[in-house]
A and B are shown apart, each in its own frame.
Chain A
Amino acid sequence: MDPNSRRDIMLENYQHPFHRGLVEDEDYLLFNTNNESCIDHLDIQYQIEDGTIKDIRFDGEACAVSMSAASLMIKALIGKNKDEAKVILENYKKMLAGEDYDATILGELVVYEDIGKQPSRRRCAILAFESLEKLLEKM
């Protein structure tokens, strides 16, 4: 994907994030993530049904990379079961670490490949996924 298309996808997800805004529903599990080195923080809610991620919502204050990555992560995860979500997480982490990964599994999330090369920004790209890690421990 060329840099312009990548940027457009990030910008679209930053300016019109998917499922932003939390819901008041006790069905949802809530996770907070804070970027220790920065000032970003995200709240992410997961609704799980029969071992499948049925819905995800998020809110918070964060930079364009963190926000757009949350939006894209949500798009990628809804409808996935635990094992599928785990594979997405593993591949995403590999991509950011510059290791071999399966791009077909990540879909639009591949737009962060280059950002992984900047250590200072890798943390922004991974922020939302920290909630997924916590979720997987519980699922």
Chain B
Amino acid sequence: MHRDDFEILKSGIIYLDNSATTLKPKCVVDRVVDYYTKYTANAHRGDYDNSLKVDMMYEEVRDKVRDFIHAKSSKEIIFTSGTTDSLNRVVFGFMKYYLKKGDEVLLTKAEHASNILPWLELEKEIGIVVKYIPLENHQVVLRNVQESITERTKVISIAHITNVLGDERPVRDIGKLCQEKGIYFVVDGAQSVPHRAVDVEQLGIDFLAFSAHKMLGPTGVGILYGKEELLEKLHPTIVGGGMNTSFHSDGSWEYKSLPSRLEAGTPNIAGVIGFGAALDYLTEIGMENIHQYEQSLKQYFLAQLETIDHVTVYNKDVGGSIVAFNIDDVFSQDTAIYLNHYHICVRAGNHCAKILKEDLQVKNTCRVSFYFYNTKEEIDEVIRVLKRSKDIFRIVL
């Protein structure tokens, strides 16, 4: 779908590393360039035309994000630098003040580093207890969530869809459970918001983090969604210009209200404005259409892989659009180098989920992750190359 909008595809690459970042359509690049060439100015500052325009464009994107994830108010949308930044702010701006020594936080071993390391830091800092929901066949099942909850469980923080195996978590059920038990529900949406409709209200999410660059947008832009009453309590982890109303030499100060209070300094204006074009573009195609199409691609790829004896797939029945595999007896990185020889871009490794290997037994895999601009023809080419892989070391060495 829509391949003509992606200039980079004309180079002939087969891009299958969409979990890492996606390609950018022309409209996004144009929107960024327009800001730099036609109306450059800072936001929230000046009283001249371009500055007012920038202000308006920037705030318009906030409204678009609000609508995209069905938040109640634009005040619930904070621009950050990415999922990592968003999650760090939840942990160090909110949880650090809310949690007490001995309080428990539930994660899983399949989380991205950015949803584990901040918690481990906080564990060291204030003595919270990080626990892992046991996975069943690498996946989260509601029963294990229920059984992991104790009197002291205060937070559940998990990815909606993981970046290693692409498994989707029963977020709605977990959200409901959290509401019943008074547990805060933090969701890492980096791999879900780009690929399907997400409704924060329906899913019972308290905090949601995701990245623009994984959904056609520029790098360096992320979103932190939080329920308004929670963001009100979130301490700014960065302070400075743009977020204060006054400060005095007697050491007193006053901060602005949401959302400005949590956006100190000059933001990534070009990036945010470019992200607006990405949201328009995705909305135009329709998230449900994207989801359906990706599923059909994945099913097609899996069926074709079945015909190759020397390939092992690790995640046949997951909800996301990721396929993790290895060529038997070949180190995943060698497979990626081999595929690169045919201009096929895939990722090898443990995908920043370094403790999952304790559960998965295999440490490293090759990961193919789809987006709506991928095609069956591209898959056919990947299959052709994988079938020929008996001579892999002729290419790799």
Interface, chain A (partner B; CB < 8 A)? 6-7, 10-11, 14, 38-40, 61-65, 67-68, 121
Contacts and interface: CB of A to CB of B under 8 A. Distances in A.
Contacts of B393: 7, 10-11, 14, 64
Given A39-B333, A39-B349, A64 B396 contact: yes
A63 B333 contact: yes
A62 B349 CA distance: 11
B332 interface: yes
Given A7-B393, A38-B333, A63-B396, 17 more contacts: A10-B393, A11-B397, A14-B397, A39-B333, A39-B348, A39-B349, A39-B350, A39-B363, A39-B364, A61-B331, A61-B363, A61-B364, A63-B334, A64-B396, A65-B396, A65-B397, A68-B397
Given A7-B393, A7-B394, A39-B348, A64 B334 contact: yes
B305 interface: no
Nearest to A124: B333
Contacts of B333: 38-40, 63
Interface string B360-381: 0001100000000000000000
A41 B337 CA distance: 17
A7 B393 CA distance: 8
B20 to A, nearest CB: 14
A64 B397 contact: yes
Nearest to A120: B337
A11 B334 CA distance: 12
20 contacts: A6-B397, A7-B394, A7-B397, A10-B397, A39-B332, A39-B333, A39-B348, A39-B350, A39-B364, A40-B333, A61-B363, A61-B364, A62-B331, A63-B333, A63-B337, A63-B396, A64-B331, A64-B393, A65-B396, A121-B337
Contacts of B334: 63-64
A65 B336 CA distance: 14
B331 A63 contact: yes
A35 B364 CA distance: 14
Contacts of B394: 7
A65 B338 CA distance: 13
Interface in B307-352: 331-334, 337, 348-350
B164 to A, nearest CB: 13
Nearest to B363: A61
A65 B394 CA distance: 13
A37 to B, nearest CB: 10
A96 to B, nearest CB: 16
Contacts of A64: 331, 334, 393, 396-397
A55 B396 CA distance: 30
Nearest to A35: B333
Interface string B386-397: 000000011011
B151 to A, nearest CB: 40
A65 B363 CA distance: 18
Nearest to B394: A7
Nearest to A121: B337
A106 B74 CA distance: 65
A104 B332 CA distance: 34
A90 B348 CA distance: 31
Contacts of B350: 39
A68 B393 CA distance: 12
A38 B350 CA distance: 10
B222 to A, nearest CB: 24
A113 B195 CA distance: 44
A61 B363 CA distance: 9
Nearest to B351: A39
